[in-house]
Amino acid sequence: MAETIAVVSFVSSILQLVDFGTKVVKQLHEFLHCVDEIPGSLRDITLELPLLIEVLQQIKHHADHGYYRPQVESMLRPIINACSVEIASLEVILRSEERRVGKECME
């Protein structure tokens, strides 16, 4: 029973991160349309974040179907948590830039 709850919690964390990451990708693309020069780091994130989301969706699929041992899930959980923190940081940066560039451009 505890293992089932752990799997559901793990899958839920991935699902939330995929949803949040997808929203941030959309914000990032909207921001990039508003600027003349794209910083290299944002260009890299624009390419890497959708790939991360795809990998997370595959991990979720495998977790849903019981392909991972509990040890694997416990190794992946800190990585997923760290990704969540980084994506949240990116969202904060984008919101700050949105105010700087002008909200009307981002809508």
**What digits encode the pLDDT tens for the residues 13-72?**
899 999 999 999 998 888 888 777 777 777 888 889 999 999 999 999 998 888 888 788
CB 87 within 8 A of CB 49: yes
Residue 81 has pLDDT above 60, yes or no: yes
Buried b (16+ CB within 10 A) or exposed e, 62-89: ebeeeebeeeebeebeeebeebbeebee
CA Rg, the chain, in Å?
A: 16
Token pair for residue 107?
A: 């809508």
